[in-house]
Structure 1
Amino acid sequence: MALARGCARLDLESTGVWLLLAGAVLAAAVTIPTFRDPANLVNVLRQSSVLGILAIGQTFVIAAGMLDLSIGMLTGLVVVLACWLLEADPSIAYTLAVAAMMILLGASVGLVNGTLVNRLKLHPLILTFGMLSILQGLIFTFTDRSVGSASPLLQSIANDSLWGIPLSTILLAVVLVLSHLAFTRTRFGYHLVAAGGNPESARRAGINVAAIRLACFVISGAFAGLAGLLLAGRLGTGYPLAGSGLELDAIVAVVLGGTALAGGRGSVVRSIAGVLALAIISNVLNLLGVSAFVQMFVKGLIVVVAILVNQPRRENP
């Protein structure tokens, strides 16, 4: 009986987000004719790209048994700095140089997070919440209003399409494929899951848990830098509140995808399914004219249900 319950639970964790996504698409397509408009569907894909990249990075961190609350403000900092730097020179060569700098900045913040977690033995939730506050302070010390402008290259990647598919979606797909391969086909991925599931057992097996955690934070930070560049292109200017709340949205998507908050289990593919489900639900609520406050309630309800479904349960002997 315990084995049967365990198998049923694992199946629900693996397929639940796909059932939610399919149900959301079907309900929206049947009840709201404007949802089926190709322009609206392309818009849903385009709007999912930034959160999708953040959710992939967050999946690495959560599967390793941690959390990264700093990625939202890190994304916002990249938006502001990138637009400020590119206003003076929007050329392709300079845009590529700035893009490299912003991704390196994100990776550096991740490196600081990972190093402090390892060296000071701080809980990642507390440490990254502190980093969130530091980054927010940096943004508003630098500016309290929109600054600069995104280069034509960034705006093209964020807003244009190729054969009807948004370029931002193609970028997300590339990141997803590479991350999925790293997660499921490399020694790093296997060690990540082992370190997240049982750190002590992983250490006894010879796995460098500290290095795994550090790498996951660096990946999360680098992806936040990439997401910030994409968001800068979409907004066209350096809006200081651009990244506000994105860290929580990313966590919701990852949890919806069945990644265990306690670590040891996760899938970047299912995280993207969670992102798309959230995007469709948000799009439907917008089309229905539902207020932002009600949308916050719905999102909170979804994550509570997802946590209840995915949390570990003790089996009776």
Structure 2
Amino acid sequence: MKEQILQVIEQYEKIIIHRHVRPDPDALGSQGGLSAIIKASYPQKEVYVVGEEEAGLTFLNTMDVIEDEVYKGALVIICDTANSPRISDHRYSLGDYIIKIDHHPNEDPYGDLIWVDTEASSTSEMIMDLYHFGSSSGLKLDEHAARLIYAGIIGDTGRFLFSNTTQKTHHYTAALLETGFSPSEIHENLYKISEKLARLNGYVLQNFSIADNCVGYIHLTKDTLEEFGTSAGEASLLVNSFSHVEGLLAWVFFVDEPDQIRVRLRSKGPVVNKIAAKFNGGGHPRASGATVYTKDETLSVLAELRNLCKEYQAK
């Protein structure tokens, strides 16, 4: 599969790389890291990264603004996006050929060429795997690419604390560090929070609820976000605020947005991505996102999560 992907990349002079909406470090890291590798390896190619900006992550990479006609005759690569509705910038379909590179379950097999590896810690790790495979035939990894891929790996492994961290993850991380970028700069920027977000975190810790002694939940309303002066995107960063509370098996964050309610599901065992799929979302077995539109739907998500944890406990 890696050989096929590299062969297709070599065939196209224009390459446009997408990723999912509401990008996290892995989405930006895999997208930007792949772009940097291609640019360093094939300087004559036109390579673009597209999608909406995430204000708190522009220190990693910024997006290109391109016209529709750029897609004519272009190769489109979509990173870290399990479901086609979640692809940021739906012009991806205007391209000549589509490659999907992802580490989520392949429930929506879109694209002409699909590389899915659910064993990988992150899509960024897969991009490093692609580089490692092609390095003997001329692929180049510069400091910019390494910096982005590293950010993606630490984002999806929780700084190597999650169970998806493997020997390969550490092996590739060591190779990335050899390029000379500053990991401390990445950590400082990824994990710093503003005073207003710190105060909202205090609110979350005081007001989250626990159901059935194992399911944590909180709903951050528009009024609460306005009171603390934070956006829905910023508030969602606090999803793991109470994750270490004794007895919790899973938890859910509901965050109001102007026209919908963002749902973030997390777990220490129960598989939550099936719940997310029922509510316009998807993701990893233990970390998923979804979208609902009413208070009643939030209660339905919570009921599903409670039932899931009860079934998990009964096994």
Q: TM-score, normalised by structure 1?
A: 0.26
Greater strand proportion: 2
Greater helix proportion: 1
Q: TM-score, normalised by structure 2?
A: 0.26
Q: Tell me: higher relative CO, structure 1 or 2? Use CA pairs within 8 A at least 6 residues apart.
A: 1
